[in-house]
A and B are shown apart, each in its own frame.
Chain A
Amino acid sequence: MSAIYERELDSQLNGLTGYVYGALMLLFGGIYVMVCQLDGSPYFTETLDGLRFIYFVSIPLLTMRSIAEERHQKTDQLLYSLPLSMTRIVLGKYLALVTVLAMPMAVMALYPLAVNALAASGTVHLRAAYSALAGFFFLGMALAAVGLFVSSLAESVGVAAGICFLVMLLTYFLTPLAGYIPASPLASLIALAVTAALFGLLVWRLTRNGGFAAAFTLALEAALGVCFAVDSQRFGGLFAELAGKLAVFDRFESFAYDILDLRAIAYFVSVAAVFLFLTVQSMERRRWAS
């Protein structure tokens, strides 16, 4: 696993993407610190809040190559023939991504201290600052796993970046977008039915088994129908509620103001675990199909 990790880290650091991400993070980090912290706000979260958009620009860049490039260059054959389990290979790649994510954050960890040392007016609340930074890092970990999964599905690097960017965008704006769905039970049902169909498409992409995907989608839709028939009132606003739970970016908001939100961290770790699991499955599936 360490060999996979080192090679992946090496390729990240030999390419441009790792540096683009680091530069963006540090540049905008500096700007936000100037604007927010030096202006006198004691809350480092405000800086990090603003920096979330760097993630949805740079996560696609960081993760697009990880697996799609291997497939494109046919080096994935080597990975498949190595005496290593796919879980270790995926974990090695993921940990390398996480390392790259962490690099600018190590520098950013100095910002609150620097502000406190330099600015006469600004006194950053340190405990809040570091718990927020931890939360910010875990948010990145969750998103990186999503990106890795997208890379494992895509046939080319460009497609991986594009889809990943769309997914990030959708996740980022999920709550406001879901707000457009009327709160009526029927509207929720329709939105959920459409989502279930999209999910079915993903299952089909993963399994390449049309019959299974169709059965799966029908079962989901049928379950929705039955639930709606039993208690249609419960569906009022349900879509927005569920969308809120899936809005990974929004979870970070609870880190504001001196709370190390362990539930949010558990949430980020679970998202990462689920998508890493899916990545391993998507790699294993390629053994079965052409």
Chain B
Amino acid sequence: MIEVSHLTKRYGGRTAVEDLSFTVGSGAVYGLLGPNGAGKTTTMNILTGCLAATEGQVTIGGHDIFDEPIQAKRLVGYLPEQPPLYMGMTVREYLSFVARAKGVRPAQLDGQLERAAAVAGVGDVAERLIRNLSKGYRQRVGIAQALLGEPEVIILDEPTVGLDPLQIVEIRQLISSLGREHTVILSSHILSEVQAICGQILLIHKGRLVASGTPEQLEAQSAGQVTYRLTVKAGPLEARQALEPVSGVTEVKTAPAGERTELTVAVSDPSPAMDERISFAMSDKRIPVLRLEREQADLEDVFLALTRDADQTAAPGRAPARKGGRRP
């Protein structure tokens, strides 16, 4: 449905999005996940034709957003971070304006208005001035607006920001239900939100795609990343030496704590056999193990690790950009 290839956007000297490529299929909820300032809004503004890219290409349903903007935009409904509402209009007036501006035929106008209002749950406030609506309802009006013109793709920028917990739950349910008939792309910096409603996650950091896949795939990706935390009664050097012959250990970090040592051991072999190997290695050297814990990374860790990794690779001065910006 949407193909993004080698998208780059620079503002003056700052690069907001760099060499971003991904494909969005039909009929699923995609989550654009990343910390604040990762380039999510910029990406969405480019996808919806609000912003021109410095380099790269975006096609929506086969139409290039730069070359055939009108055809491409017909396929997209967009709710920007701040809903673009005219405060002095009633909900009905506003929706009718947007529908007509999107070129909805007069014969279908009423039907589409009713449907969009019903789906977004704003039917009961149709005659009220938008100025007088609560933030949650304004967000709903924004979603109703995006639904007009029957677009195949709905793009929502941070749809739950600034809402109260109950409203957040309601909007999330609404988005999930939209995902049954439309392709939905939403952005968020909240992992649990993306995990709860998105079938596919695109993890963005510093304008690059650092990982993508279903939540399960992303977790599986990091399944190899098992770490052990140990507390042993020995000095750091001794403990390190004990672990040296163990195959599968990739990295050992030590922190002395009195006569004990705290160890963080990264391993390449995720199988439970590692438990024994580490434990036996210690007892071979007659080092008492006071604690042994196995930790498997969940999505939260993946998110943190990937965004931190990218920080570190981006840190040393003008290091050459990693090709593709994608980690295996």
B-binding residues in A (CB < 8 A): 2-4, 6-7, 10-11, 14, 73-78, 80-85, 287-290
Pick the contact of A81: B52, B73, B85, B86 (CB < 8 A). Answer: B73
A83 to B76, CA, bound (A): 9
Contacts of B49 in A (CB 8 A): 80-81, 287
Q: Tell me how far the C-beta of A215 lies from the nearest C-beta in chain B, rounded to whole angstroms.
A: 18
A80 to B45, CA, bound (A): 9
Q: Tell me how far the C-beta of B59 lies from the nearest C-beta in chain A, rounded to whole angstroms.
A: 16
> Does any Cβ of A come within 8 Å of B70's Cβ?
yes
A73 to B86, CA, bound (A): 8
Q: Is the CB of B97 within 8 A of A3?
A: yes
Residue interface bits B39-56, CB-to-A below 8 A is 1, else 0: 000000100111110000
Contacts of A11 in B (CB 8 A): 86, 88
Contacts of B145 in A (CB 8 A): 78
Beyond A74-B80, A84-B70, whether A14 also contacts B97 by CB under 8 A is no
Q: Is the CB of B50 within 8 A of A83?
A: no
Q: Closest B residue to A290 by CB, please name it.
A: B11
Q: Is the CB of B84 within 8 A of A74?
A: yes
Contacts of B86 in A (CB 8 A): 7, 11, 73, 75
Q: Is the CB of B52 within 8 A of A288?
A: yes
Q: Is the CB of B87 within 8 A of A83?
A: no
Q: Is the CB of B80 within 8 A of A77?
A: yes
> Does any Cβ of A come within 8 Å of B135's Cβ?
no
Q: Is the CB of A83 within 8 A of B102?
A: yes
Beyond A7-B86, A287-B52, whether A78 also contacts B98 by CB under 8 A is yes
Contacts A14-B88, A74-B84 aside, 12 further interface pairs with beta carbons under 8 A come to A7-B101, A10-B89, A73-B84, A74-B80, A75-B84, A77-B78, A81-B78, A83-B73, A83-B74, A83-B103, A84-B101, A287-B51
Pick the contact of A6: B69, B82, B97 (CB < 8 A). Answer: B97
> Does any Cβ of A come within 8 Å of B100's Cβ?
yes
Q: Is the CB of B50 within 8 A of A82?
A: no
Beyond A77-B50, A287-B51, whether A82 also contacts B101 by CB under 8 A is yes
Question: By the criterion of a CB under 8 Å from any partner CB, how many residues of chain B are at the interface?
Answer: 30
A73 to B89, CA, bound (A): 14
A118 to B1, CA, bound (A): 71
Q: Is the CB of A4 within 8 A of B101?
A: yes
A14 to B88, CA, bound (A): 9
Pick the contact of B73: A3, A4, A74, A82 (CB < 8 A). Answer: A82
A7 to B101, CA, bound (A): 10
Q: Closest B residue to A84 by CB, please name it.
A: B101
A85 to B87, CA, bound (A): 24
Q: Is the CB of A75 within 8 A of B76?
A: no
Q: Tell me how far the C-beta of B99 lies from the nearest C-beta in chain A, rounded to whole angstroms.
A: 8
A289 to B98, CA, bound (A): 26
Residue interface bits B1-17, CB-to-A below 8 A is 1, else 0: 00000000001000000
Pick the contact of B11: A4, A77, A289 (CB < 8 A). Answer: A289
A11 to B70, CA, bound (A): 26
A6 to B89, CA, bound (A): 12
Beyond A3-B97, A11-B88, A287-B52, whether A82 also contacts B102 by CB under 8 A is yes
Contacts of A80 in B (CB 8 A): 48-51
Contacts of B89 in A (CB 8 A): 7, 10
Q: Closest A residue to B87 by CB, please name it.
A: A73
Contacts of A289 in B (CB 8 A): 11
Contacts of B103 in A (CB 8 A): 83-84
Beyond A11-B86, A11-B88, A289-B11, whether A81 also contacts B100 by CB under 8 A is no
Q: Is the CB of B100 within 8 A of A2?
A: yes
Q: Tell me how far the C-beta of B319 lies from the nearest C-beta in chain A, rounded to whole angstroms.
A: 26
Contacts of B102 in A (CB 8 A): 82-83
Contacts of A3 in B (CB 8 A): 97-98, 100-101
18 pairs, CB–CB < 8 Å, chain A vs chain B? A2-B100, A3-B97, A3-B100, A3-B101, A6-B97, A7-B89, A7-B97, A14-B88, A74-B80, A76-B84, A78-B84, A82-B102, A83-B69, A83-B74, A85-B69, A85-B70, A287-B49, A287-B50
Among A14, A73, A85, chain B packs the most CB atoms within 10 A around the CB of: A73
Q: Is the CB of A81 within 8 A of B88?
A: no
Contacts of A84 in B (CB 8 A): 70, 101, 103
Contacts of B76 in A (CB 8 A): 81
Contacts of A75 in B (CB 8 A): 84-86
